[in-house]
């Protein structure tokens, strides 16, 4: 039930009129919003609310002694923010993070910005110094509104306790509606200690925001617009769907699959859109972009009608906008955010609205008008691209290739496990070599590219889906950013499988240095040469902690690792020279894609020796 729907209820809240502290009201609103898990770290300015959580749980335990709203404690607040994000990404619900003032709040800046960049709905509740000393540089004070205002979807500072309830409900509404995103609530300690009557209903009067959301809901595809879309489709011979994370966020994956199947249009997804379309389906081209599959990128080069669905033409996909989809005579764009239309690439047709409904309406319109399509020759070309330019790597090497390890894990996961990643080469290999049959199985930091995301996100995802297999694929450099969360895994006895692909350094940066900086490994060969990850995992309570360094042992060890019943840790010593291919270099178009030594290319491209016009990392 949405917060706005709750206010329309005629029956009063059973606790309406009861006198409560502000902290108790915070907890009661969380319960009313359906929150099942809180991730956070305590501290002085948030103690009243932490105590209220403790008392609520103590009074409402079930017959087995389980708390209704457990509070999960990480190693640090950044971990808590990423756990809330992982929970939200895996469940589609709003994740909740609760931290103290000052450094507690500032440690969540990165996960807040990460959630904003990837349109993830979380609510971050920050304790704040008492109202009367705000602005005096009091102990553990930080200007949360000023800091978070530029990285969050919205920030509230609650100085009027009478508005605390309404602010809490409104935060959930803003986080979950329209284009989802993070909302921060800064609550002074005296507001938490204040005592007043609980209303059980009410929202803040954010009329302009609600008008925009209502307009979005009301913005259905008109018959003339539908007719125009299908005229473009009828003229097309090589249509291609380019689907992004907006499909997953809108819970529109099933509608996208129906749309693709109904008209027999191939689908490629962005990094964030992975899982929106079943990667094992014949119509799937998997990921496009800088490290996209050759078949996907070649299909983008060849298509004559590009249909962008919940995607934003970001720089990792359309680095050179004028050269992106160069043969596309028409481009259509579906999105929830009007700001994305025409921002990067001009389009010929667009619709801003509710994605699932809009795709279903187009299918219904086509059914009523008996529209049929025949893209047989194009589908044959796509099948040939997938067969002739398949992903590949050095399968004869005596060294362990990361691709081989991920292929072997994928055999056990079968496209049904939740895969989280850090950021770097391991992230791209995972995107390339894992299958995903459903959405919300692929959790990664896309736009921000935040190292250290994978492990805490896996923890959040496991709490969201305790029944699922959750695997964190990480790198030696990425996992050290939040290495302390290994102990969180074992503290809560989460059966998470943690894989560290160890190439002794910052592999992705080293790859760029080799390609564009004549191999000068400035500060990238420094890291973790002496780190014994297995001993670290054992010290943090992992009963299964193994180092894999022999290629012949890969199948056996992977099987034992996946089948282990509890938390499991696996360090794999991979080829330190392994690179991620394909690669579309900075400032390059898809026809300049480098495919490496083991993937057939349809063009001759020499490895660049200098950055292109756009040298964005």
Averaged pLDDT for residues 60-88: 97
DSSP per residue over 550-604, as a string?
-GGGHHHHHHHHHH-SS-EEEEEE--TT----SB--TT--GGG-B-TTTS--SS-
Identify the H or E element spanning 284: strand 284-287
- Tell me the β-bridge partners of 334: 309, 351
Residues 282 and 246 in one domain: yes
Mean pLDDT of the chain: 95
State yes or no: cis peptide before 582, omega within 30 of 0.
yes
Name the packing angle between helices 22-32 and 164-176 (round to 10°): 30
Cβ neighbors of 556 (< 8 A, separation 6 or more) are none
The answer as to whether 558 is a domain residue is yes
The answer as to whether 140 is a domain residue is yes
Cβ neighbors of 183 (< 8 A, separation 6 or more) are 122, 123, 124, 152, 153, 154, 155, 156, 171, 172, 174, 175
Strands 568-573 vs 544-548: parallel, antiparallel or unpaired: parallel
Give pLDDT, residue 524: 82
CA angle 81, 83, 84 (to 5 degrees): 65
Q: Residue 11: pLDDT above 70?
A: yes
Give pLDDT, residue 385: 98
Residues 371 and 490 in one domain: no
Cβ neighbors of 373 (< 8 A, separation 6 or more) are 233, 234, 263, 264, 265
Give pLDDT, residue 525: 75
The answer as to whether 210 is a domain residue is no
Residues 65 and 115 in one domain: yes
**Structural tokens at position 78:** 């950044």
- Tell me the β-bridge partners of 125: 98, 185
Cα gap 473→115, rounded to integer Å:
20
Give pLDDT, residue 5: 44
What CATH number has the domain bearing residue 248?
3.40.50.1220
Q: Kindly indicate the confidence band of residue 521, based on its pLDDT and cuts at 50, 70 and 90.
A: confident
Averaged pLDDT for residues 473-501: 97
User: End-to-end CA distance of the chain, in Å?
Assistant: 42
Residues 488 and 367 in one domain: no
Cα gap 261→295, rounded to integer Å:
19
Q: What is the dihedral of CA 245, 246, 247, 252, to 10 degrees?
A: 140
Q: Residue 475: pLDDT above 80?
A: yes
81 and 124 in contact (C-beta within 8 Å)? yes
How many domains does one find in the chain? 3
Q: What is the dihedral of CA 413, 414, 415, 420, to 10 degrees?
A: 10
Q: Residue 608: pLDDT above 60?
A: no
Instruction: Single out the residue of 235, 353, 243 nearest to residue 288, CA to CA.
Output: 243
Catalytic residue list: 77, 139-140, 189, 508
The answer as to whether 612 is a domain residue is no
Averaged pLDDT for residues 295-317: 97
The answer as to whether 131 is a domain residue is yes
The answer as to whether 229 is a domain residue is yes
Residues 374 and 493 in one domain: no
Residues 238 and 187 in one domain: no
Q: Kindly indicate the confidence band of residue 8, based on its pLDDT and cuts at 50, 70 and 90.
A: very low
Residues 168 and 36 in one domain: yes
Give pLDDT, residue 527: 59
Strands 19-21 vs 195-197: parallel, antiparallel or unpaired: antiparallel
Q: Kindly indicate the confidence band of residue 492, based on its pLDDT and cuts at 50, 70 and 90.
A: very high
Residues 464 and 545 in one domain: yes
Residues 82 and 133 in one domain: yes
Strands 38-40 vs 71-72: parallel, antiparallel or unpaired: parallel
Q: Kindly indicate the confidence band of residue 613, based on its pLDDT and cuts at 50, 70 and 90.
A: very low
Asked which of 173, 205, 237 is the last residue of a domain, the reply is 205
Q: Kindly indicate the confidence band of residue 426, based on its pLDDT and cuts at 50, 70 and 90.
A: very high
Cα gap 103→288, rounded to integer Å:
39
Residues 158 and 241 in one domain: no
Give pLDDT, residue 21: 98
Give pLDDT, residue 616: 47
pLDDT tens readout for residues 538-552: 999 999 999 999 999
The answer as to whether 610 is a domain residue is no
The answer as to whether 532 is a domain residue is yes
Give pLDDT, residue 541: 98
Domain housing 112? 3-205
Cβ neighbors of 541 (< 8 A, separation 6 or more) are 487, 490, 491, 567
Name the packing angle between helices 355-368 and 223-235 (round to 10°): 70
Averaged pLDDT for residues 366-376: 97
pLDDT tens readout for residues 28-55: 999 999 999 999 999 999 999 999 999 9
Residues 238 and 303 in one domain: yes
Cα gap 578→460, rounded to integer Å:
31
Q: Would you call 316 helix, strand, or coil by DSSP?
A: coil
Give pLDDT, residue 586: 87
What CATH number has the domain bearing residue 526?
3.40.50.970
pLDDT tens readout for residues 554-594: 999 999 999 999 999 999 999 999 999 999 998 899 999 99
Asked which of 386, 412, 441 is the last residue of a domain, the reply is 386
Asked which of 205, 236, 261 is the last residue of a domain, the reply is 205
pLDDT tens readout for residues 174-221: 999 999 999 999 999 999 999 999 999 999 999 999 999 999 999 999
Residues 562 and 426 in one domain: yes
């Amino acid at each position: 039930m949405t917060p706005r729907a709750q206010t329309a209820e005629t029956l009063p809240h059973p606790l309406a009129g009861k006198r409560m502290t502000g902290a108790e009201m915070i907890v009661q609103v969380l319960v009313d919003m359906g929150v099942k898990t809180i991730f956070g770290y305590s501290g002085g300015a948030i103690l009243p609310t932490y105590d209220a959580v403790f008392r609520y749980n103590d009074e409402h335990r079930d017959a087995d002694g389980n708390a209704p709203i457990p509070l999960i404690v990480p190693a640090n607040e950044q971990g808590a923010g990423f756990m809330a994000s992982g929970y939200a990404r895996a469940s589609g619900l709003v994740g909740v993070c609760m931290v103290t003032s000052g450094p507690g709040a500032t440690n969540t800046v990165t996960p807040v910005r990460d959630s904003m960049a990837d349109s993830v709905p979380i609510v971050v509740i920050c304790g704040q110094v008492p109202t009367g000393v705000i602005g005096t540089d009091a102990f553990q004070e930080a200007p949360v509104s000023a800091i978070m205002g530029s990285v969050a979807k919205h920030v509230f500072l609650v100085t009027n306790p009478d508005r605390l309830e309404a602010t809490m409900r409104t935060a959930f509404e803003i986080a979950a509606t329209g284009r989802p995103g993070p909302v921060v609530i800064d609550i002074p300690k005296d507001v938490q200690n204040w005592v007043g009557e609980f209303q059980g209903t009410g929202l803040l009067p954010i009329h302009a925001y609600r008008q925009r959301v209502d307009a979005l809901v009301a913005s259905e595809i008109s018959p003339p617009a539908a007719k125009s879309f299908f005229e473009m489709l009828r003229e097309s011979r090589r249509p291609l769907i380019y689907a992004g994370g907006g499909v997953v966020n809108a819970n529109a994956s099933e509608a996208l699959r129906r749309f693709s199947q109904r008209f027999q249009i191939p689908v490629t997804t962005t990094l964030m859109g992975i899982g929106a379309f079943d990667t094992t389906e014949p119509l799937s081209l998997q990921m496009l972009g800088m490290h996209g599959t050759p078949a996907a990128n070649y299909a983008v080069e060849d298509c004559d009608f590009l249909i962008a669905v919940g995607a934003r033409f970001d720089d990792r996909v359309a680095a050179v906008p004028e050269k992106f989809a160069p043969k596309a005579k028409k481009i259509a764009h579906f999105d929830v955010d009007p700001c994305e239309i025409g921002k990067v690439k001009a389009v010929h047709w667009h619709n801003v609205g509710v994605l699932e409904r809009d795709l279903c309406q187009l299918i219904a319109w086509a059914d009523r008008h008996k529209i049929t399509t025949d893209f047989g020759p194009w589908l044959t070309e796509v099948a040939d691209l997938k067969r002739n330019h398949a992903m590949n790597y050095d399968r004869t090497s005596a060294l362990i290739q990361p691709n081989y390890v991920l292929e072997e894990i994928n055999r056990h996961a079968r496209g049904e496990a939740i895969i989280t990643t850090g950021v770097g080469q391991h992230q791209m290999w995972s995107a390339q070599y894992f299958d995903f049959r459903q959405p919300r199985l692929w959790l990664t930091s896309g736009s921000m590219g935040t190292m250290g995301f994978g492990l805490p996100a896996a923890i959040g995802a496991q709490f969201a889906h305790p029944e699922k297999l959750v695997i964190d694929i990480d790198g030696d450099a990425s996992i050290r950013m939040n290495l302390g969360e290994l102990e969180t895994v074992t503290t809560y006895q989460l059966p998470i499988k943690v894989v560290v692909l160890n190439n002794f350094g910052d592999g992705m940066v080293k790859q760029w240095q080799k390609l564009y900086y004549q191999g000068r490994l400035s500060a990238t060969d420094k890291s973790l040469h002496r780190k014994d990850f297995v001993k670290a995992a054992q010290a943090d309570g992992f009963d299964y902690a193994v180092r894999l360094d022999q290629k012949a042992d890969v199948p056996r060890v992977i099987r034992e690792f996946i089948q282990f019943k509890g938390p499991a840790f696996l360090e794999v010593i991979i080829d330190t020279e392994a690179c991620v291919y394909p690669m579309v270099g900075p400032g390059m178009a898809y026809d300049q894609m480098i495919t490496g030594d083991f993937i057939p290319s349809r063009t001759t491209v020499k490895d660049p020796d200098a950055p292109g016009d756009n040298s964005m990392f």
